[in-house]
Amino acid sequence: MDIFLQQVANGLTLGSIYALVALGYTLVYGILGMINFAHGEVVMVGALTALAATKFLLSAAFPAPVVFVLAFIFAAVVCMLLGVLIERIAYRPLRNAPRLAPLITAIGVSIILQQLAMMLWGRSYHAVPPLLPETTHQLLGAQITTVQIVIVGVAALTMASLLILVNRTRLGRAMRATAENPGVAALMGVDANRIIALTFLIGSALAALAGVLVSANYGIAHYNMGFMLGLKAFTAAVLGGIGNLAGAVVGGLLLGVIEALGAGYIGDLTGGVLGSQYQDVFAFFVLIGVLVLRPAGLLGEKVAERA
Amino acid sequence: MVCLIGANGAGKTSTLKALARMIPAAGEIRYAGRRIDGLPCHALIGQGLALAPEGRGVFARLSVAENLAMGAYHRAGHDERAAVAEDEARIYGLFPRLAERRRQLAGTLSGGEQQMLAIGRALMGRPRLLLLDEPSMGLAPLMVQAVFDVIRRVAQSGVTILLVEQNARLALAVCNRGYVMESGTITLAGSAADLLADPRVRAAYLGE
């Protein structure tokens, strides 16, 4: 029983991070109808720039919590600039191109970012200095670290704010209107390019946060870390129903828990033949399952309703 | 209140879209003495031009109230807040059906209600010139009458209206002046009464 609870706790931690990244995919999909496959690399850039800032600030003898916050702010600014730049250079010229074109460009951007990061930071794994207290708490027989509590708490607060922004504010209303009909929204005075740039700005800030949190969780960062995380988060977005914000949150949390439980029990289930290194398999089982059984996702609308 | 009538495919909607900068157009477009052909579409509402597009174009997944709020999107200042609320109340007065359904998603409204919402939304921008594209399209006769009653009242309140209609009889009955368009060019122009009496109009558009 305590293994179960332990894995659920671990899964919710991981799932919070998936959810933050999945929101970035789903925000952009909602407005542009394209999958921004470079989004995972923005997470990686967030993690590595935050690490660089952390090292610098620690050497200047700032207290750890201050370093954590400042490093995140630095990473967020870098990622937001990067996100807007990607949209401006790689996607905007292809706004009216066939759907495959921006998809291929996105993969290209992803490769470029990975290679640039490899040139800047090298191929090695970087240890991320622990900035949060390394205490553990007992909860219903599960061991929960302070890092996990911070991850889940910060992610929950951020996601709640995002939902309020999109559903309750003038800007969010303009985003939803543009997503539905950019031509008519323009008649109301909405500058679609500004809304799209803002969408990338928000998505990239979430990616930076996810990057900081995931490297705090595992204590490592490297140039290739965005690839798998990006694919998993994309799976989470599809699981929840791509284009649907609440769906991204649900999909992320669910995928995290499925993965953690799968990793926790795969050894028992296969009589020790497969170990927890097969953890990644579960996300893609889920992806295939969703695409076959419920392509619109858990909270997604039928595609016909969108047309 | 001016109308532009003509057969299907004559170029009426394209004319409106070009005016609203939704599609590119050659030449000059002037409004109130200023050239607007260089402006992007989203800047026009600031010049006092609003379009209720063909097929209504309501935001189906936004509520009625949110659709109206979108109409006042460019009126963002704090000092505008009271005036926007006042306009919203005025629109609900004009269209009591919308007031009953203000929390409902616009996609769940009937065609006539959506047309009312499209006009109400355009009015929320406080336009001086309102472009209406085929407001009668696809509506039941009773609904057409209700919508045109409101259009007439809006015109009386001092908003200039350019109405594009296939239903020439209806359009000429509410307008002061009219233009007839054929294959992209204006072939006839005059007061609505003269056009109604014109044998060419009667033969081609009034079915006589």
Q: What is the mean pLDDT of residues A172-200?
A: 94
pLDDT tens sequence across A227-277: 999 999 999 999 999 999 999 999 999 999 999 998 888 878 777 777 777
Average pLDDT for B129-152 = 90
Contact (CB<8Å) A190/B20: no
Q: How confident is the model at residue A1 (pLDDT cuts 50, 70, 90)?
A: low
pLDDT of A303 strictly over 50: no
Query: Per DSSP, which regions of chain A are E strands?
Result: 126-127, 136-139, 142-145, 220-221
**Confidence class of residue B37 from pLDDT cuts 50, 70 and 90?**
confident
Q: Which residues of B touch A307 (CB under 8 A)?
A: none
What is the three-class DSSP state of B17?
A: helix
C-beta atoms surrounding A48 within 10 Å: 24
Mean pLDDT value of segment B137-155: 90
Q: Give the closest-approach CA distance of B149 to chain A in angstroms.
A: 24
By the 10 Å C-beta count (0-12 exposed, 13-18 middle, 19+ buried), A192 is classed as buried
CA dist B70 and B68 (Å) reads 5
Q: A174 to chain B: which residues are within 8 Å by CB? A: 70, 73
Q: Count of A–B CB contacts within 8 Å?
A: 69
CA distance B200 to chain A (A): 36
| Number of domains into which chain A is organized | 1
Higher pLDDT, A190 or B202: A190
Q: How confident is the model at residue A306 (pLDDT cuts 50, 70, 90)?
A: very low
What are the pLDDT digits (tens) for A28-62?
A: 999 998 999 999 999 999 999 999 999 999 999 89
Q: Is A180 in contact with B60 (Cβ distance < 8 A)?
A: yes
pLDDT band, very low/low/confident/very high, at B137 (cuts 50, 70, 90):
confident
Which residues of A fall below an 8 Å CB-CB distance to B? 170, 173-174, 176-177, 180-181, 183-192
Average pLDDT over every residue of A84-93: 96
Contact B156, B130 (CB under 8 A): no
Please report residues of B whose CB lies closer than 8 A to that of A191.
40, 42
- Domain range enclosing A11: 2-306
Residues 6+ apart with CB under 8 A from B172: B3, B5, B178, B192, B195, B196, B201
For A117-154, write each residue's pLDDT tens digit: 999 999 999 999 988 888 888 888 888 999 999 999 99
Q: Over chain B, what is the mean pLDDT? A: 89
Q: In this predicted structure, what is the pLDDT of residue A301?
A: 66
* pLDDT value of position A112: 96
Residue B102 token pair:
């203000």
The residue behind tokens 């505008």 is B80
Contact across the interface for A189 and B62, Cβ inside 8 Å: no
Contact A203, A162 (CB under 8 A): no
The pLDDT, as a whole number, for residue B208 is 65
Give residues with Cβ within 8 angstroms of A88, minimum separation 6.
A197
Across the interface, do A176 and B59 touch by the CB < 8 Å criterion?
Answer: yes
Give yes or no for a contact between A18 and A236, defined as CB atoms under 8 angstroms apart.
yes
Position A21 confidence tier, pLDDT thresholds 50, 70, 90: very high
Is residue A297 scored above 60 in pLDDT? yes
Residue B45 to residue A181, Cβ atoms within 8 A: no
Q: Where residue A261 sits, what CATH number does that domain have?
A: 1.10.3470
Q: How far, in Å, CA of A185 to CA of A187, rounded?
A: 5
Q: Which domains does chain B carry? A: 22-140+151-159+174-182 (3.40.50.300)
Q: Look at A170 and B69 and tell me if their CB atoms are within 8 Å.
A: yes
- Interface membership of B121 toward A (CB under 8 Å): yes
- So what's the ipTM on this one? 0.90
Q: Alpha carbon of B75 to those of A191, A303, B43: distances in Å?
A: 14, 34, 12
Choose the mutation target among A184, A301, A302 for the interface with B, i.e. most B CBs under 10 Å. Answer: A184
